[in-house]
Amino acid sequence: MATDSSPKQEIVVQGISASQGIAYGQIFVYLQSEVEIPSYQVDPDKRIDEIARFDKALLVTRQQISKIQNEVEKNLGKNEALIFDAHLLVLEDQALISETIREFETTGRNIETCFNNVSRKYIAAFAEIDDEYLRERAGDIRDVAQRVLQNLLGQAETSISRLVERRIVVANDLSPSDSAGIDRGSGLAIVTDSGSRTSHAVIVARSMQIPAVVGVRDLTKRVRTGDWALVDGYDGVVILNPSEQTLFRYGKIQSQKKSYESRLLAANRQKAVTLDGVSVTLMANIEKVEEIEQVKQFFAEGVGLFRTEYLFLNASRIPTEQEQFLAYKAVVEGVAPYPVIIRTLDLGGDKPMTSDPDLFPKEDNPFMGYRAIRFCLDNQQLFKDQLRAVLLASHFGKARLMYPMISGAEEMARANQMLDECKQELRARGQPFDETLEVGAMIEIPSAAATVDLLEKQADFFSVGTNDLIQYMLAIDRGNDRIAHLYEPAHPAVVRTIRRIVEDAHRLAVPVSVCGEMAGDPIYAPLLLGLGVDSLSMAPPSIPAVKFLVRAMTMADARALAADVLAMTSPKEIYAACQGFAQKRVPLD
């Protein structure tokens, strides 16, 4: 390691942890430059040629993206290459293409100007959506639009593939194409001014198993290529000009983390059984058929939440009953003999279908708006197509059906009535399905939590969606930066409500799972089990850490933790108790 005779001052910058790991090295600052768009009037006799030029640019862009996709699949794997399916879909978006040509025919301005104007409208519309995942899709359109404009203008595409030395890449943000251009042997870590945990840069970083920190505001303005930095992907920290003492401390931390992660992976092959012999069911949350491999890789005992809306969100049209059936069947067969809980559409509100915007009017408060079961009960034909598809898939494995955002027994009754109608229709067709298909409800609205005894009459199981339940209970918009710190899973009201849900359900012999973020957090998982939750469902990579803790504790101790926590009045006190419980049983050294 090179040393400077006049060392610079150490500076610690806080960001958001996005991909775990620790890296130390020199920085490479990557700054994307905006394409300068000329604007001029096209001669009427050259307008056919102008549209042909647009068609050619779309074709060349498609070829470029397909080439990148093939390279990513070869170097990183099939799942990572699927990122670029969304880019190819942008190039097939007839609304985007038609609107560009319509503007050209109306204004007569050059096609670059028209395409830039239209694509910017799309990008702005996506950027305003409350849902974090969908906001990130604005980046897909921006990346594709940049390529199309470069091809129209005859410019070379921007890339960081020229990076040959091992460096920490610091950028304002990284598009999927940029991320894919980082050679596996050259990228030490990725740090971005903006972005989130769901950004494509993060997805690639995780695939490459390198650290990533996002949301480090204005870092690109504070550093230069060649500066030294340490990236802590565990705590979301970037340390500029780290001292020898800091490097030594992080060397020990890295050694401890690697030892801990090795133990996690070894334990993950074992059953999730506590020290006093209680078996715990750990399941996976997924949203794509391709994620079946992760379910198996992390030894999940089934799928506790299959988010079906993602079949619709990136589609150019509403999937048919047959198309949905094939997707659900693939998951059910792929996970067998374990169960798959298929959640019906949580579309609308903050997750509208862009291919049919008329179905989803813009709302001021989408989290409490026209979405999920409310939308489905209003669009019965669409809903029944999905219900029939789930029923048909149930013939091929252990499928279960679950409704989201149920507010009370009346909604549950209406949904079940439509399910019964679908069963009758399939019987009339002579198509087989599981006549004993279990039906459940997500408990994520306070009114549902307060009426579990009424819902039980129509439900075979419950799944607590803690993400929305916490938001609704505490009146906290978790997407609002100014109050996001008040979003507190350890709030006494949250803990007491979960306990009440479990008690009411168990009194009626109905099982309860948790499928929100709390389930995959080793800090809170023991508390949930101590409160009596029957199973936990989480992102597949979270399973090893939770399983390791389960195998290091007794259920009796988890129940004692829950009893202590129920008597506490402060979220900080509750969090400290849960954290202490985990650290005592799973030391890092």
Q: How far apart are CA 571 and CA 541, in angstroms?
A: 27
Q: Give the burial string for 31-69 (b: 16+ CB within 10 Å, else e).
A: ebeebeeeeeebeeeeeeebbebbeebbeebbebbeebb
Q: How far apart are CA 305 and CA 307, in angstroms?
A: 6
Say if residues 338 and 377 touch (Cβ distance below 8 Å).
Answer: no
Q: How far apart are CA 258 and CA 235, in angstroms?
A: 15
Q: How far apart are CA 506 and CA 391, in angstroms?
A: 27
What's the distance, Cα to Cα, between the start and end of the chain in Å?
Answer: 27
Both tokens of 229, joined, read 């930095």
Q: How far apart are CA 406 and CA 538, in angstroms?
A: 21
Active site residue: 200, 376, 491, 578, which one?
Answer: 200
Both tokens of 214, joined, read 């996002």
Both tokens of 499, joined, read 């306990």
Both tokens of 251, joined, read 């060397």
Q: Give the H/E segment covering residue 583.
A: helix 571-585
- Residue type (1 letter), 55: D
Give me the DSSP letters along 506-556. HHTT--EEE-SGGGG-TTTHHHHHHTT--EEEE-GGGHHHHHHHHHTS-HH
3 state SS of 189:
strand
Q: How far apart are CA 356 and CA 581, in angstroms?
A: 49
| Catalytic site includes residue 200 | yes
Active site residue: 114, 376, 422, 515, which one?
Answer: 515
Q: How far apart are CA 294 and CA 268, in angstroms?
A: 13
Number of other residues whose CB lies within 10 A of the CB of residue 468? 21
3 state SS of 173:
coil
Say if residues 393 and 329 touch (Cβ distance below 8 Å).
Answer: yes
Residue 529 makes CB contacts below 8 A (sequence gap 6+) with 280, 536, 550, 555, 558
Q: Which residues are catalytic, by number?
A: 200, 515
